[in-house]
Structure 1
Amino acid sequence: MTHAQDSTGRAAVAAGHPATAQAARDVLADGGNAFDAALAAIAAASVAEPLLGSLGGGGFLLAHPADGPAVLYDFFAQTPGRAHRGSQTDFRAVEVDFGPTTQGFHIGLGAAAVPGTIRGIAAVHADLASRPLSALMAPAAQLARAGVPLRDFDAYAGRILAPILRTTPALAQVFQTPDGTPRASGDRLVQPALADTLEQLGAEGDRPFHEGPLAHALAAQCKAYGGHLSAEDLATYQVARREPLACTYRDARLLTNPAPSSGGMLVAFALDLLQAAGPAEPAGSADLLRTLARAMRLTSEARAEAGRLGGAETPERALFAPELLDRYRTAMAKRPQCTRGTTHISIADADGNLAAVTLSNGEGCGHTWPGTGIHLNNMLGEEDLHPDGFDAWPPDTRIASMMAPSVLELANGRWIAFGSGGSNRIRTALLQVASNLVDHDMSVAEAVDAPRLHVERGLVSLEPGFTEAAMTAAAMEGERVNRWPERNMFFGGVHAVDRAGDGTVTAAGDPRRGGVTDVLAMSAQRGS
Structure 2
Amino acid sequence: MEISQPARPIAAGVAASHPATAAAGMRILQAGGSAADAAVAAVLATCVTETVYTGLGGGGVATYFDAASGNVTCLDFFVAVPGTDGDVEAGPMVSVDVFFGGMPQVYAIGGASVAVPGVPAGCGEVHRRWGRLPWASLVAPAHELAVTGAELPAAHARTLESCAPALTYGSGAEVYAPGGRLLGGGDRLFHPGLATAMARLADEGPALFYTGAYGAQLVESVREAGGSIGPLDLANYRVLETPVDHATLGSYRVRARHDLSRTVDTIAALPANLTGLPRPERAVALASALRDLGRQKIGDTTNVSVVDPDGNACVITTTLGLGAGVWLPGLGINLNSMLGEGELITDDLAPGRRMSSNMCPLVVIDAAGDLALAAGSAGASRIRTALIDTLLGVLVDGLDSASALSRPRFHVVDDTVHAEPGYPTDELDALAAAGWRIQQWPEIDHYFGGVTAVAAGSAAGDPRRGGVGLLL
Does the CA-based 8 Å contact 1:249-1:275 persist in structure 2?
Answer: no
The one-character-per-residue Cα deviations of 1:491-525 (angstroms, maximum 9, x if unpaired) are: 001110014xxxxx4212110111101112xxxxx
Most deviating of 229-238 and 412-421: 412-421
Shift in Å at residue 398 of structure 1? 0.9
Q: How does 1:327-342 map to 2 (within 5 A)?
A: 341-342=300-301
1:324 corresponds to: none
Shift in Å at residue 425 of structure 1? 0.4
Q: Structure 1 pair 10/85, CA: closer, same or farther in 2 (3 Å)?
A: same
2:283 corresponds to: 289
The one-character-per-residue Cα deviations of 1:252-289 (angstroms, maximum 9, x if unpaired) are: 1011113xx424xx12222122125655423xx33222
Q: Secondary structure at the match of 1:233?
A: helix
1:409 corresponds to: 365
Most deviating of 243-252 and 355-364: 243-252
Q: How does 1:41-440 map to 2 (within 5 A)?
A: 41-68=42-69, 69-81=71-83, 89-168=91-170, 170-178=171-179, 180-258=180-258, 261-263=259-261, 266-276=262-272, 280-282=276-278, 285-297=279-291, 300=293, 341-386=300-345, 393-411=349-367, 415-440=372-397
Shift in Å at residue 186 of structure 1? 2.4
Q: Structure 1 pair 173/477, CA: closer, same or farther in 2 (3 Å)?
A: farther
Does the CA-based 8 Å contact 1:57-1:377 persist in structure 2?
Answer: yes
The one-character-per-residue Cα deviations of 1:303-341 (angstroms, maximum 9, x if unpaired) are: 9xxxxxxxxxxxxxxxxxxxxxxxxxxxxxxxxxxxxx1
Most deviating of 472-481 and 108-117: 472-481
Most deviating of 96-105 and 370-379: 96-105
Shift in Å at residue 155 of structure 1? 1.9
Q: Rg bigger for which structure?
A: 1
CA distance in 2, matches of 1:422, 1:43: 20
Q: Structure 1 pair 63/472, CA: closer, same or farther in 2 (3 Å)?
A: same
Aligned amino acid, residue 459 of structure 1: T
Q: Secondary structure at the match of 1:275?
A: coil
Q: Structure 1 pair 182/85, CA: closer, same or farther in 2 (3 Å)?
A: farther
Q: Structure 1 pair 227/87, CA: closer, same or farther in 2 (3 Å)?
A: closer
2:13 corresponds to: 12
Aligned amino acid, residue 419 of structure 2: L
Identical-residue share of aligned pairs (%):
36
Aligned amino acid, residue 203 of structure 2: A
Aligned amino acid, residue 135 of structure 1: S
Aligned amino acid, residue 107 of structure 1: I
Does the CA-based 8 Å contact 2:167-2:322 persist in structure 1?
Answer: no
Shift in Å at residue 9 of structure 1? 8.9
CA distance in 1, matches of 2:355, 2:435: 29
CA distance in 1, matches of 2:415, 2:395: 28
Q: Secondary structure at the match of 1:401?
A: coil
1:526 corresponds to: none
Is 2:460 the counterpart of 1:508?
yes
CA distance in 2, matches of 1:300, 1:438: 28
Shift in Å at residue 166 of structure 1? 2.3
Does the CA-based 8 Å contact 2:48-2:145 persist in structure 1?
Answer: yes
The one-character-per-residue Cα deviations of 1:173-193 (angstroms, maximum 9, x if unpaired) are: 111121x22112222122231
Q: How many residues align?
A: 459
2:32 corresponds to: 31
Q: Structure 1 pair 411/216, CA: closer, same or farther in 2 (3 Å)?
A: same
Aligned amino acid, residue 423 of structure 1: A
Q: Structure 1 pair 133/166, CA: closer, same or farther in 2 (3 Å)?
A: same
Does the CA-based 8 Å contact 1:250-1:275 persist in structure 2?
Answer: no
CA distance in 2, matches of 1:221, 1:190: 21
Shift in Å at residue 204 of structure 1? 0.4
Does the CA-based 8 Å contact 1:112-1:365 persist in structure 2?
Answer: yes
The one-character-per-residue Cα deviations of 1:394-430 (angstroms, maximum 9, x if unpaired) are: 2211111100000012347551000100010001111
Does the CA-based 8 Å contact 2:363-2:371 persist in structure 1?
Answer: no
Shift in Å at residue 345 of structure 1? 0.7
CA distance in 2, matches of 1:443, 1:512: 17
Aligned amino acid, residue 78 of structure 1: A
Q: Secondary structure at the match of 1:460?
A: strand
CA distance in 1, matches of 2:228, 2:243: 31
CA distance in 1, matches of 2:90, 2:375: 42
CA distance in 1, matches of 2:453, 2:233: 34
Q: Secondary structure at the match of 2:23?
A: helix
CA distance in 2, matches of 1:88, 1:122: 29
Q: Secondary structure at the match of 2:178?
A: coil
Does the CA-based 8 Å contact 2:115-2:229 persist in structure 1?
Answer: yes
The one-character-per-residue Cα deviations of 1:222-276 (angstroms, maximum 9, x if unpaired) are: 3333112111111100001234222222221011113xx424xx12222122125
Q: Structure 1 pair 109/478, CA: closer, same or farther in 2 (3 Å)?
A: farther
